[in-house]
Each structure stands twice: as structure tokens, then as C-alpha cells.
Chain A
Amino acid sequence: MFIVRTTEYSLPNLLHSHVDLIQPTTSFGRWKAMRSAFLDWKPDSDIDHKVSLASGTPELYRNPVSGVTVDPSCNETVTIKCLQQLYNAVGYVPKISEKENRIGVTGFLEQYANIEDLNAFYADQVPQAVGSSFEFISVNGEWEPKLTTRSWFLIFGSGGQNSQNLSESGIEAAIDTQLAYGLSYPIPGVYWSTRGTPPFIPDAKYPENGNEVRETMPRAGVHD
């Protein structure tokens, strides 16, 4: 894998205070999906009863100013209910109709958001959302013709795919969609996804793909 970078770049003197940075020049970071620390806690036989926010527990944390109360189990386990308590959003009712309102999550690098997985999460944490789904939008997707040895046929081209194979459910996609849609239910969810490989235009010297990964999404936004 190759990328084009430099260890040093210069600008005219008078531009130094008028430009914060120019990239990609010296940034060697490789974008990749990060896993949430959410996944790292060890199985604990106490977790189950900590997750269920039994009402009437005498140990509720109460903020004296806002009056917000947070279940003590939230110190160890973050659930949708914990987040709603922490943000004083328990029982929040969206002010805008479901026809106009959306919450969007972006997906990259073949992170497939799985509807069955989402509903398993809802069954555990947001029972009223069970049976709901989200709208999938493929970013820069288009049908394009391909010629095989036998015939022409159409394949779905450069846009993001929407695998609903449970075995391909992405960890990051699951965390993002479950928390975002679960927290904001009943606001309808949208999942935008780019295809896993970055756009790449090969030239004579660089036939291999070493290109920038996240260009598709901001460009799609620009053209909206």
C-alpha cells in the first residue's frame, strides 16, 4: 500500500497566519473503523439486574440543580435509558412530525447496518421500537452496465451496499445505529453508506489503490 505524502511543506510568509493547515500533506493516519470501549467490559453476572433500571431504588443520583436523576447502574453499564437520564431526555416527544424529521448515521468500509441485529437490541433496550427499521441510502450509488463473456447486465456500482446478512452485521454500524436510532426513537432513522473502497483513478505509475478513503461522503454532501 502506497500513499503520497511529504515530511515538510512550506507556504509564503504572508500566508502563515491565514492558513491553519493544508492536508493531505504530512498526515500519515490511515482511516479505519474504531471499536467502542463499550464492547470491552467483561461479562458480569450482576450486569443483568444493573441494566434493568428498577424504579424506586433509593440510590438514584439526583442533580440538585436540574432535578435530573440517574440510576447508579449507569456508572458501570451504559444503556439507552442511562443516556436518556443523563441528557434529561426521558420521555422526550419529538416536536416535529415524523414526516419531516430524520436522524442520520453514516457508514463506511463495509460496515453493514443489520435490521435483525437492530431489533434484537430494541427488544432488549427499546421495546417500543421493535419492528421498526431505517431508510438505507447508498451514497453515490448508481447502476452501471458490465460486459461479461456472455452478456451485458447491470450491477450496482460505486455506491454503498446494504447487506442484510446477519453474519455481516458491522460492529461499528451496529453500535452507531442502535444508539442513535434507539436514543431518538420514534424519529425515523437514515443510514448513508459508501462503498468500502475509496474512489481511485489509476495512472501509469500508480495502478494500485492507495487513495484517500473518506472523499465520497463530503463530495456527496457538496452536490446535494
Chain B
Amino acid sequence: MFTTTLGAILSLASFLPLFIVSGSAIGTSEWNFTVKESIHPPPGWVKYSSASPDHVLSFRIALPQPQFHVLEQHLMEISDPDHERYGEYLSKDQVDDLVRPYDESLDLVTEWLEKWGIYEEDVSRSAAKDWVTVVVPVRLAELMLNTVRDALLITRAPFY
């Protein structure tokens, strides 16, 4: 699946450390890629060319919020004029607690980013740590998300 060339990997050397799988306690097959999401381009959009490797993108990574259904329950109650808890709004800290991801999710995503040379000082996180923002050039994003085969597209909007 992961079919980039050595040259492409080496070209990262000036920018970031090499991607090194060994040393992890987790088996390598679990680091193999499988498709996370696949779509058809919306009508009117056409591929224009491959993206410039130097183009910089700001990606937001959403971690699952296992307690979200609890937050939703709170919202339904405190916004219902007929409910006894009507108006008992949550504090920001309480909301943050309810959207906080599992520690395991945080650890694995952090480990994955570190494999690509992206460390804590390179990312920004939401207060509840449920969103991670990383700023990376296309040449790295293509490797991290295995979009090399179907390279990141430049597309044209239909109405401009």
C-alpha cells in the first residue's frame, strides 16, 4: 500500500527526521494504511494538477469524544423550559471534561505524529484536547495520509 519512493522519503531529510517504524511496541501491521475516507468529487470540481509539495496546509484532527452522549443529555435538559434543570448551564470546564478523548486516543495520535517528526511544540490542541491542529507541507501530508497514489488534487470550483 505504501508505495512512495526512497527518493521521496529522503527528500524529507532536510525537513524532518526519517520515518522509523522499528522501536514501537505495536506490531508493524497495525501501522499499515487502510482507507479512512473515500469520496467522489462533487459536481463541477475537476482535478487540475498535483499540488505543489511546498504548499502548506493546516490540518485539524478530530479525536472521538466518548462522553458526547452525556453532554447531549445535559443540553437537552438545561435547554428545556419544562425540565427541573432548566437554565443550569455547564461551565466551560465541565463541557471540556465531557468532550475529552480517551487517553489511548491521545497517546496513539501523538505517537503517530512523532513518527513523522511532529512533536508537541509543533501542534496546537483545543482546551479539551479533542482537536489537534498541525501545519504541514503537501509533501509530508501525502506521506502521512497515503494520498500519493491519488495525489492531493488541485481542483477548480465550478462558478468562478
B45 close to chain A: CB less than 8 A: yes
Q: A18-B104, A18-B105, A203-B52 are in contact. Are A12 and B30 (CB under 8 A)?
A: yes
A142 close to chain B: CB less than 8 A: no
Interface size class of B (residues with CB under 8 A): 35 or more
Q: Is A8 in contact with B102, judged by CB distance below 8 angstroms?
A: no
Q: Is A26 in contact with B37, judged by CB distance below 8 angstroms?
A: yes
Which chain A residue lies CB-closest to B134? A22
Interface string of B22-50 (1 = CB under 8 A from A): 00001001111111111111100100100
B109 close to chain A: CB less than 8 A: yes
Please, which residues of chain B bring their CB within 8 A of the CB of A4?
51, 55, 57, 138, 152-154
Q: Is B82 in contact with A66, judged by CB distance below 8 angstroms?
A: yes
Q: Is A21 in contact with B39, judged by CB distance below 8 angstroms?
A: no
Q: Is A8 in contact with B153, judged by CB distance below 8 angstroms?
A: no
Please, which residues of chain B bring their CB within 8 A of the CB of A5?
152-153, 155
Task: Give the CA-CA distance A88 to B81 in the complex, in Å.
Answer: 7
Q: Is B37 in contact with A17, judged by CB distance below 8 angstroms?
A: no
Contact partner of B52 (CB less than 8 A), chosen from A11, A23, A204, is A204
A7 close to chain B: CB less than 8 A: yes
Q: A28-B41, A206-B55 are in contact. Are A6 and B32 (CB under 8 A)?
A: no
Q: Is B63 in contact with A20, judged by CB distance below 8 angstroms?
A: yes
Q: Is B156 in contact with A205, judged by CB distance below 8 angstroms?
A: no
Task: Give the CA-CA distance A3 to B108 in the complex, in Å.
Answer: 30
A31 to chain B: closest CB distance in Å?
Answer: 12
Q: Is A21 in contact with B62, judged by CB distance below 8 angstroms?
A: yes
Please, which residues of chain A bring their CB within 8 A of the CB of B51?
4
Q: Is A28 in contact with B42, judged by CB distance below 8 angstroms?
A: yes
A13 close to chain B: CB less than 8 A: yes
Task: Give the CA-CA distance A57 to B42 in the complex, in Å.
Answer: 52
- Number of A-B residue pairs at CB separation under 8 A: 147
Please, which residues of chain B bring their CB within 8 A of the CB of A6?
145, 147, 150-153
**From A4, A20, A222, residue with most partner B Cβ within 10 Å:** A4
Q: Is A12 in contact with B60, judged by CB distance below 8 angstroms?
A: no
Please, which residues of chain A bring their CB within 8 A of the CB of B5?
none
Task: Give the CA-CA distance A206 to B49 in the complex, in Å.
Answer: 12
Which chain B residue lies CB-closest to A205? B52
A87 to chain B: closest CB distance in Å?
Answer: 7
Q: Is B33 in contact with A3, judged by CB distance below 8 angstroms?
A: no
Q: A3-B155, A21-B62, A65-B82 are in contact. Are A10 and B145 (CB under 8 A)?
A: yes
A39 close to chain B: CB less than 8 A: no
A155 close to chain B: CB less than 8 A: no
Task: Give the CA-CA distance A23 to B62 in the complex, in Å.
Answer: 8
Q: Is A22 in contact with B61, judged by CB distance below 8 angstroms?
A: yes
B91 close to chain A: CB less than 8 A: no
Q: Is B58 in contact with A206, judged by CB distance below 8 angstroms?
A: no
A19 close to chain B: CB less than 8 A: yes
- Would you list 20 pairs from A and B whose C-beta atoms are within 8 A, ordered by A residue? A2-B156, A3-B155, A4-B138, A4-B153, A10-B36, A13-B32, A15-B109, A18-B102, A19-B62, A19-B64, A22-B36, A22-B59, A25-B37, A25-B59, A26-B39, A66-B81, A87-B81, A88-B81, A203-B52, A203-B54
New A-B pairs, 11, CB < 8 Å, besides A7-B153, A21-B62, A203-B56: A1-B157, A3-B154, A5-B153, A10-B33, A11-B34, A14-B30, A18-B64, A19-B36, A21-B36, A21-B37, A206-B52
Q: 6 tightest A-B contacts by CB?
A: A205-B52, A18-B105, A10-B146, A10-B33, A9-B145, A14-B30
